[in-house]
Amino acid sequence: MVHRLLGLADFSLTVFLLPLLLHGLEIVDPGQVIYRESRTNGVVDKGVILECGPTLPDIYIWSFTKPGTETIRAVVYNFGKGPKLQQLAKDLGDLNVISNSASLSIVKLPLAAEGLYTCQALYDTTDGAKLYYYYVYLRVLG
């Protein structure tokens, strides 16, 4: 499933970041994308935190894929001017971005929140841009 999602995720990141890349953000070696996968469990009506790296990226996009589908939907993004929650976020519980990070906090977790969360994180470093994909598989227990 992840292999099929990668094509869509690469396309969505390109569409969202193309204007930024054309205005001075240089990716030194776009072939060197770093991928991280993790799994976590949550409990209905409780809380869970989904991590998007150890530090706040310059730009990030969180998306969600419901089990049994290949459709990726945006949940929240931050292009440097603060996080913007999308409509889908309301269906996934009480969702917020943790201050000074790109990690998601979900409280009042519904069963519908179970699925694959993908955080595409772009860091602008002195060596050029570094791109990370964080895949978090969330299982919601009843």
pTM score: 0.79
Which domains does the chain show, CATH number per domain? 2-141 (2.60.40.10)
Residue 72 has pLDDT above 70, yes or no: yes
| DSSP structure string for 34-54 | EEEEEEEEEETTS-EEE---S
pLDDT digits (tens, 9 = 90+) for 54-68: 999 999 999 999 999
Residue 14 has pLDDT above 80, yes or no: no
49 or 22: which carries more pLDDT confidence? Answer: 49
CB atoms within 10 A of CB 125: 9
**Average pLDDT of the chain, as a whole number:** 86
pLDDT digits (tens, 9 = 90+) for 84-132: 999 999 999 999 999 999 999 999 999 999 999 999 999 998 888 899 9
